[in-house]
Amino acid sequence: MTRAFNDLHVAVLMGGLSAEREVSLTSGEQCAQALERQGVRVSRVDAGRDLANVLSGLIRPDVVLNCLHGAWGEDGCVQGVLETLRIPYTHSGVLASALAMDKDKSKAVLKAAGVKVPGGGLYDRHEVASRHVIAPPYVVKPNAEGSSVGVYLVREDDAPVAEVGDPAWAYGEQVMVEPYIAGKELAVAVIGEKSGPRALTVTDITPTKGFYDYEAKYAPGGSVHVLPAVLPPAVFEAALRQAEAAHVAMGCQGVSRSDFRYDDVKDDLVLLEVNTQPGMTPTSLAPEQAAHTGMSYEELVRWMVEDASCPR
């Protein structure tokens, strides 16, 4: 971009059409306020199916800060709209976004790149609702949602997850079923700098109750974050390097976040998934890790906007 940062007009996309709408509204508002505190002109856009008309006809921004989460906003669809309009935008492009949103396909890419991923696979949701398709304990989750929406942990004595066979199930006819990995929940944010991806640190996440579900991620006090995580040095370093390798293998740009499980009994580190548009809420991991390394929330948001480009 040739214009000075303070002269930019930034459209912040938030809300959207997915099950993660409320989280996106919070992320977007936080980012919009951070930009306004730095003197930037901001247009808040609750993104709907008329997005192309809104951006090209009414707003005409210099840059789009994409704070959408989940289907449509994070899966390459909105990225395709922005590519068509030739508006510089943040985070990953069409291919990386679509790939990361599909857990099954992204696991294949990560495995080929030497990153350890869980076993399991895709199963018909009605079959999963009626019987144990793999031996418990295991995790059932949609193949293309984030923020732990629609995720179930099936323990050894539990019945199959009847909810995924319900007519109201809205997350696809196939669901991902993976063996449950005991141990620690870890996360690593990565900033895709021009010189190469830079992992920030490792956070150890402990839910205050249950497992790391939607409420634990976003409710105040829903989880305890320890950063840097207390881990064997070799495991800490492996998580950083694996997150950077995943960022590259998936073709991510801007900020990404890799989520891991570490079985400290078996000394087994497994990457669960890569998020191409990490949350920017008050409880989100990426801005917390950035702050730990000396980058304020405002500085992180500014970096994302200055990193925007088209094509991505």
Residue intervals of the chain classified under CATH 3.40.50.20 are: 5-91
| Cα distance between residue 25 and residue 245, in whole Å | 30
pTM of the predicted model, to two decimals? 0.91
What is the predicted pLDDT for the residue at 144? 81
What is the predicted pLDDT for the residue at 3? 80
Architecture of domain 5-91: 3-Layer(aba) Sandwich (3.40)
| Cα distance between residue 66 and residue 304, in whole Å | 10
Element (H, E) at 10: strand 9-14
How many other CB atoms are found less than 10 A from the CB of residue 85?
16
| Cα distance between residue 14 and residue 24, in whole Å | 5
What is the predicted pLDDT for the residue at 236? 98
What is the predicted pLDDT for the residue at 276? 96
Residue intervals of the chain classified under CATH 3.30.470.20 are: 99-117+182-307
Peptide bond into 232 cis (omega under 30): no
| Cα distance between residue 60 and residue 47, in whole Å | 14
Architecture of domain 99-117+182-307: 2-Layer Sandwich (3.30)
- What topology does CATH give the domain 121-179? Dna Ligase; domain 1 (3.30.1490)
Positions in the chain whose pLDDT score sits under 50: 147, 216
What is the predicted pLDDT for the residue at 63? 98
What is the predicted pLDDT for the residue at 253? 97
Helix (H, G, I), strand (E, B) or coil at 263: strand
Residue intervals of the chain classified under CATH 3.30.1490 are: 121-179
Residues classed as catalytic: 20, 147, 218, 257, 259, 273, 275, 279
